[in-house]
């Protein structure tokens, strides 16, 4: 069972629910705050849905870190939440507690989301993580010369996305990477 803080009351209700499984299928979304490709996100979810077998998906859940959209409306969490809610599906948000944890809050939240999804897997839900990858856009990032995952594309991916993706993989959650179209080599 995941470690649950008072802010995670909804997650605790799900993780401790005696009905098994609470949700037939669970997707943990992680992605860059700069994500702006709705067409690509829709395609990724359509493909994931086909992989699950649409007829078996009776009660899907999206688990999201609930990072708000930026002033230009970009952001993987906000976009995924909007798309799932528009279809009438349930969304569980696990926002970071920046006041309590400071700069570590996002990484702590990522582990809470992974722990929750593992608990749902143990209850019988089919689970996966979908990582919407875009380059880190932090000015003067000390890792700006690092290379990650994609040959021929300079730079590295957003730190929070890579952290959550790595934690999901380490926990045994099937993980799908979706590259921003600007990163695909020609």
Q: Is residue 120 part of a domain?
A: yes
Q: Is residue 89 part of a domain?
A: yes
Backbone angles phi, psi at 5, to 5 degrees: -95, 165
Tens-place pLDDT, residues 55-98: 888 999 999 999 888 888 789 999 999 999 999 999 999 999 99
Tens-place pLDDT, residues 37-54: 999 999 999 999 899 998
Could you tell me which of 30, 34, 41 has the C-alpha nearest to residue 72?
Answer: 34
What CATH number is attached to the domain comprising 71?
3.40.50
pTM: 0.83
Rounded to whole angstroms, what are the CA distances from 3 to 7, 30, 116, 132?
A: 11, 20, 9, 26
Q: Is residue 67 part of a domain?
A: yes
pLDDT for res 73? 78
Q: Is residue 157 part of a domain?
A: yes
Q: Is residue 10 part of a domain?
A: no
Tens-place pLDDT, residues 114-154: 999 999 999 899 999 999 987 666 667 666 566 565 555 65
Q: Is residue 41 part of a domain?
A: yes
Number of domains observed in the structure of the chain = 1
Contact 72, 79 (CB under 8 A): no
Q: Is residue 84 part of a domain?
A: yes
Q: Is residue 165 part of a domain?
A: yes
Is the pLDDT at 5 greater than 70? The verdict is no
What's the domain range around 165?
27-53+62-96+116-136+151-181
Contacts of residue 107, Cβ cutoff 8 Å, sequence gap at least 6:
160, 163
Is the pLDDT at 2 greater than 90? The verdict is no
């Amino acid at each position: 069972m995941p470690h649950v803080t008072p802010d995670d009351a909804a997650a605790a209700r799900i993780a401790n629910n005696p009905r098994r499984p609470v949700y037939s299928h669970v997707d943990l979304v992680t992605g860059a705050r700069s994500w702006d490709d709705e067409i690509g996100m829709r395609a990724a979810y359509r493909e994931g849905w086909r992989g699950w077998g649409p007829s078996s998906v009776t009660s899907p859940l999206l688990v999201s870190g609930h990072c708000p959209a930026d002033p230009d409306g970009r952001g993987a969490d906000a976009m995924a939440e909007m798309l799932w809610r528009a279809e009438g599906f349930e969304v569980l948000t696990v926002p970071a507690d920046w006041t309590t944890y400071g700069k570590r809050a996002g990484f702590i939240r990522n582990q809470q989301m992974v722990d929750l999804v593992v608990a749902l897997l143990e209850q019988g839900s089919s689970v996966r993580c979908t990582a919407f990858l875009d380059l880190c856009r932090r000015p003067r990032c000390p890792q700006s010369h690092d290379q990650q995952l994609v040959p021929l594309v300079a730079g590295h991916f957003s730190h929070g996305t890579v952290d959550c993706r790595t934690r999901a993989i380490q926990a045994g959650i099937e993980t799908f990477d979706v590259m921003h179209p600007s990163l695909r080599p020609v």
